[in-house]
C-alpha cells in the first residue's frame, strides 16, 4: 500500500525537489544544525585546500531529509570542483560507471546516493577506483579477451545512505571520512524555517516558526514542506496573513499533531497496543496488520518514534512506551501480568 505522507522525510515529487533546491544553503557557513559534522568537515576541507589535494572519500549516513545531498553540493562549491550525481539503483552494471569515472577531472566529486543499494559487481568495480585511481575492464571474450588498465584522475567519492549497516565492510572501510547526520533540534529547525520564509518572502513570527519546527520530526525537508502548506492555507483562508492560529489550523487539516505524528504513526502505535497489549511484537506482524511493507515502517515511521521515546526495540520485538499512551490519550489499557510493570 502506497501513500503520500506530509511528514515523509523522502522526496514526494520532482516538483517539490526543484522547489527545495532554491532553499538549500550554498556554502558551509549557511548550513544550519549538525554542528559536529560541520566543524569536522570544515577542518577536512581546509586541510585538503592547504595540501592542494582532493578531499578524502566520504560517507554520509543518517535518516532521509537531513542534508546529505545538500552537503555534497556544498563541498563541490567549497572546493570549486564539479559534482556528478547518481544513485545506487541507477548503476546496475560496471559499464554504467566506466563513462562517469573516465570523465572525472582532478578533484571532481562523484556523489552516489543510496550507495547501500549498489550491486556486488559494481561495488567491487569501485574498489580499485577508490584505492588506486584506476579501473580494469575486460574487452572481447574467450581467447581474444584482454584486460585494459585505465588510470583515473584523483577524485572524491561521496556516498550517502540511510542504512549504513547494509554497506559491506570492504566498501565502508574505503571511506576516509565518515559523518553521521542526526535529527535536528527544534531550535535549529526554527532557524531553518525563518531562513526559508525569508527566501520565499513570507512574513512569519517566532511563534509560527516554532510551531512548524516542533511538528517537523527533526527534519528540514519536512519543515520546508509544512511551511509551504501553512503559506497555502493562509493565502486561501486567512487573506495571506500567517498567524499562529492559522498555522495550527492548517497543520490540523493535514493531520499532523503537536508531536509531528500523522495517522500512520498513530495506527502503528495503536496496533501494538490494541492487538498485542503494548508488545513486544515483531515488525512483520505489525506490517501485515497495517498492510504496509516492513521496510517502509522501519525507514519512515520507526526512527522518529524511537527518537521521541514512544517506541522501544527489544530482542523480542517492538514495544510501546508509557509516553505513547499519554500522548495519544489512551485510557484503560489492560496489560497482561506477563508484562509486569511495563506501564
* 272-302 confidence digits (pLDDT tens): 988 888 889 999 999 999 998 988 898 888 8
SS3 222: helix
Domains and CATH numbers, the chain: 34-180 (3.40.50.300), 186-253 (1.10.8.60), 263-339 (1.10.10.10)
Which residues fall within 8 angstroms of residue 105, CB to CB, at 6 or more apart? 81, 82, 153, 155
Catalytic residue among 68, 194, 217, 231: 68
Annotated catalytic residue, options 5, 24, 69, 188: 69
Which residue is catalytic, options 162, 219, 247, 296?
A: 162
Q: Let me know if 162 is a catalytic residue.
A: yes
Catalytic site includes residue 68 = yes
Residue 271: DSSP 8-state = H
Q: Is 69 a catalytic residue?
A: yes
What is the tens place of the pLDDT at every residue in 154-197? 999 999 999 888 899 999 999 999 999 999 999 999 999 999 99
User: What percentage of the chain carries pLDDT values higher than 70?
Assistant: 89
Mean pLDDT within 242-268: 90
Task: State the DSSP code for 59.
Answer: E
- Check residue 218 and report its DSSP letter: T
Indicate the pLDDT class of residue 142, thresholds 50, 70 and 90. low
Judge whether residue 78 has pLDDT over 80: yes
Answer yes or no: is pLDDT of 8 > 90: no
Residue 112: pLDDT band with limits 50, 70, 90: very high
Beta bridge partners of 134: 151
Catalytic residue among 5, 70, 79, 113: 113
85 DSSP β-pair partners:
111
From CA 53, how far away is CA 153, in angstroms rounded?
A: 12
pLDDT given for residue 218 in this prediction: 92
Give the range among 102-116, 177-191, 255-269, 328-342 with minimum mean pLDDT. Answer: 328-342
- The answer on pLDDT for 111 being more than 80 is yes
Examine the residue annotation and report whether 113 is marked as an active-site residue of this protein. Answer: yes
Averaged pLDDT for residues 45-69: 92
Other CB atoms within 10 Å distance of the CB of residue 114 = 18
* Candidate list 5, 215, 221, 225, residue with the active-site label: 221
Query: Is 50 exceeded by the pLDDT of residue 334?
Result: no
Does residue 143 register a pLDDT over 80?
no
Q: Is the pLDDT of residue 20 over 70?
A: yes
pLDDT score at 327 = 64
**Is the pLDDT assigned to residue 244 strictly greater than 90?**
yes
Amino acid at each position: 500500500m502506497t501513500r503520500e505522507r506530509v511528514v515523509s522525510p523522502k522526496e514526494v515529487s520532482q516538483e517539490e525537489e526543484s522547489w527545495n533546491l532554491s532553499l538549500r544553503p550554498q556554502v558551509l557557513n549557511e548550513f544550519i544544525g549538525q554542528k559536529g559534522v560541520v566543524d569536522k568537515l570544515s577542518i577536512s576541507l581546509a586541510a585538503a585546500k592547504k595540501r592542494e589535494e582532493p578531499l578524502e572519500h566520504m560517507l554520509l549516513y543518517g535518516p532521509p531529509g537531513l542534508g546529505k545531498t545538500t552537503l555534497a553540493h556544498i563541498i563541490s562549491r567549497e572546493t570549486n570542483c564539479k559534482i556528478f550525481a547518481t544513485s545506487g539503483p541507477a548503476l546496475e552494471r560496471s559499464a554504467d560507471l566506466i563513462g562517469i569515472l573516465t570523465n572525472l577531472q582532478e578533484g571532481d566529486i562523484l556523489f552516489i546516493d543510496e550507495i547501500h543499494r549498489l550491486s556486488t559487481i559494481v561495488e567491487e568495480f569501485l574498489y580499485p577506483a577508490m584505492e588506486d585511481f584506476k579501473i580494469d575492464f575486460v574487452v572481447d571474450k574467450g581467447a581474444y579477451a584482454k584486460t585494459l588498465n585505465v588510470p583515473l584522475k584523483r577524485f572524491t567519492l561521496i556516498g550517502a545512505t540511510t542504512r549504513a549497516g547494509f554497506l559491506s565492510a570492504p566498501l565502508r572501510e574505503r571511506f576516509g571520512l565518515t559523518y553521521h547526520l542526526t535529527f535536528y533540534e527544534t531550535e535549529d529547525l526554527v532557524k531553518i524555517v525563518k531562513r526559508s520564509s525569508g527566501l520565499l518572502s513570507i512574513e512569519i513570527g517566532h511563534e509560527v516558526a516554532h510551531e512548524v519546527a516542533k511538528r517537523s520530526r527533526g527534519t528540514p525537508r519536512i519543515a520546508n514542506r509544512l511551511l509551504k502548506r501553512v503559506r497555502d492555507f493562509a493565502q486561501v483562508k486567512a487573506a495571506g496573513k500567517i498567524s499562529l492560529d492559522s498555522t495550527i489550523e492548517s497543520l490540523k487539516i493535514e493531520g499532523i499533531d503537536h508531536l509531528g505524528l500523522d495517522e500512520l504513526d498513530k495506527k502503528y502505535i495503536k496496533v501494538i497496543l490494541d492487538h498485542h497489549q503494548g508488545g513486544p511484537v515483531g515488525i512483520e506482524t505489525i506490517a501485515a496488520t497495517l498492510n504496509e511493507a516492513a521496510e517502509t515502517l522501519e525507514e519512515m515511521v520507526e526512527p522518529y518514534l524511537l527518537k521521541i521515546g514512544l517506541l522501544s526495540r527489544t530482542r523480542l520485538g517492538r514495544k510501546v512506551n508509557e509516553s505513547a499512551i499519554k500522548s495519544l490519550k489512551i485510557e484503560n489499557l489492560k496489560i497482561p501480568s506477563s508484562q509486569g510493570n511495563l506501564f
